[in-house]
A and B are shown apart, each in its own frame.
Chain A
Amino acid sequence: MEYISNFFVNLGNSWTSLLSSFLPPWAVILINFIIVALLLVLMPVIATMTLTIMERKIIARIQNRIGPNRVGPWGIFQAIPDAIKLLTKEDIVPVNADKPLFNLAPLLIFLGAALLWAVIPFGRGVIGQDLNVGVLYLVAVGSISTIAIVMAGWSSNNKFALIGAFRIVAQLLSYEIPMVLAMASVVALVGTMKMGEIVELQSIPFLLILPVAFITYILAAAAETGRAPFDLVEADSEIVAGYFIEYSGLKFGWFYIAEYGNLLAVSAIAATLFLGGWRGPFADQAPVLGPLYFGIKTILIVFLLMWIRGTWPRFRIDQMLALAWKVLVPLGLFNLLWVATMIKLPLPVWLQWAFILAGNVLALLVTLTLMGQAAKRYAARRGMVGTRA
Chain B
Amino acid sequence: MQSQYLFIAIFAVVALALPAIGLAVAWALRPKKPNPIKNSTYECGMETIGETWVQFRAQYYLYALIFVVFDVEAAFIFPWAVAYNQLGLYALVEMILFVAILFGGLMYAWRKGALEWR
Given the complex of chains A and B, what is the CA–CA distance between A30 and B6 in angstroms?
A: 9
- Segment of A48-56, A70-78, A158-166, A360-368 in the binding face: A158-166
The answer to whether B85 and A191 have CB atoms under 8 Å apart is: yes
Chain B residues with Cβ below 8 Å from A250 are 22-23, 26
Chain B residues with Cβ below 8 Å from A90 are 30-33
Contact with A along B3-35 (1 / 0, CB 8 A): 110111011101110111011011101111110
Contact with A along B77-93 (1 / 0, CB 8 A): 11011111110010110
The answer to whether A91 and B27 have CB atoms under 8 Å apart is: yes
**A89 to B, closest residue via Cβ:** B30
- CB of B110 within 8 Å of the partner chain: yes
* Interface residue ranges of A90-145 to B (CB < 8 Å): 90-96, 106-107, 110-111, 114-115, 118, 128-129, 131, 135-136, 139
**Given contacts A88-B26, A90-B33, A94-B42, is CB(A166)–CB(B56) below 8 Å?**
yes
The answer to whether B11 and A118 have CB atoms under 8 Å apart is: yes
The answer to whether B44 and A240 have CB atoms under 8 Å apart is: yes
The answer to whether A187 and B19 have CB atoms under 8 Å apart is: no
Task: With both chains docked as a complex, state the minimum distance between the C-beta of B70 and any C-beta of chain A, in angstroms.
Answer: 5
Residue from the list A29, A40, A193 in contact with B3, Cβ < 8 A:
A29
Chain A residues with Cβ below 8 Å from B38 are 92
Task: With both chains docked as a complex, state the minimum distance between the C-beta of A330 and any C-beta of chain B, in angstroms.
Answer: 7
- CB of A1 within 8 Å of the partner chain: no
Chain B residues with Cβ below 8 Å from A29 are 3
**B74 to A, closest residue via Cβ:** A180
**B115 to A, closest residue via Cβ:** A325
* Interface residue ranges of B42-92 to A (CB < 8 Å): 42-44, 48, 52-53, 56, 60, 63-64, 66-67, 70-71, 74, 77-78, 80-86, 89, 91-92
Residue from the list B6, B33, B84 in contact with A191, Cβ < 8 A:
B84
The answer to whether A193 and B82 have CB atoms under 8 Å apart is: yes
The answer to whether B15 and A157 have CB atoms under 8 Å apart is: no
Chain B residues with Cβ below 8 Å from A177 are 67, 70-71, 74
The answer to whether B117 and A107 have CB atoms under 8 Å apart is: no
Given the complex of chains A and B, what is the CA–CA distance between A118 and B32 in angstroms?
A: 37
Chain A residues with Cβ below 8 Å from B4 are 129, 131
Task: With both chains docked as a complex, state the minimum distance between the C-beta of B56 and any C-beta of chain A, in angstroms.
Answer: 6
Given the complex of chains A and B, what is the CA–CA distance between A188 and B77 in angstroms?
A: 9
- CB of A294 within 8 Å of the partner chain: no
Given the complex of chains A and B, what is the CA–CA distance between A337 and B103 in angstroms?
A: 12
Residue from the list B8, B23, B26, B52 in contact with A129, Cβ < 8 A:
B8
- CB of B36 within 8 Å of the partner chain: yes
Main secondary structure of the interface of B (DSSP, over half): helix
- CB of A326 within 8 Å of the partner chain: yes
Contact with B along A170-186 (1 / 0, CB 8 A): 10011011001100110
The answer to whether A111 and B56 have CB atoms under 8 Å apart is: no
**A173 to B, closest residue via Cβ:** B67
- CB of A341 within 8 Å of the partner chain: yes
**A114 to B, closest residue via Cβ:** B15
**B26 to A, closest residue via Cβ:** A250
* Interface residue ranges of A319-364 to B (CB < 8 Å): 321-322, 325-326, 329-330, 333, 336-337, 340-341, 343-344
Chain B residues with Cβ below 8 Å from A131 are 4, 8
A-B contact pairs, 23 of them (CB 8 A): A34-B14, A37-B10, A87-B25, A91-B30, A94-B42, A107-B16, A111-B12, A115-B15, A118-B11, A129-B8, A157-B52, A173-B63, A177-B67, A180-B74, A191-B82, A249-B26, A250-B26, A317-B117, A318-B116, A321-B117, A330-B103, A333-B99, A337-B95
Taking A91-B27, A107-B23, A340-B91 as known contacts, 7 extra A-B pairs with beta carbons closer than 8 A to each other, sorted by chain A number, are: A41-B15, A90-B30, A110-B16, A111-B12, A160-B43, A184-B81, A325-B110
Chain B interface residues (CB < 8 Å from chain A): 3-4, 6-8, 10-12, 14-16, 18-20, 22-23, 25-27, 29-34, 36, 38-44, 48, 52-53, 56, 60, 63-64, 66-67, 70-71, 74, 77-78, 80-86, 89, 91-92, 95-96, 99, 102-103, 106, 110, 115-117
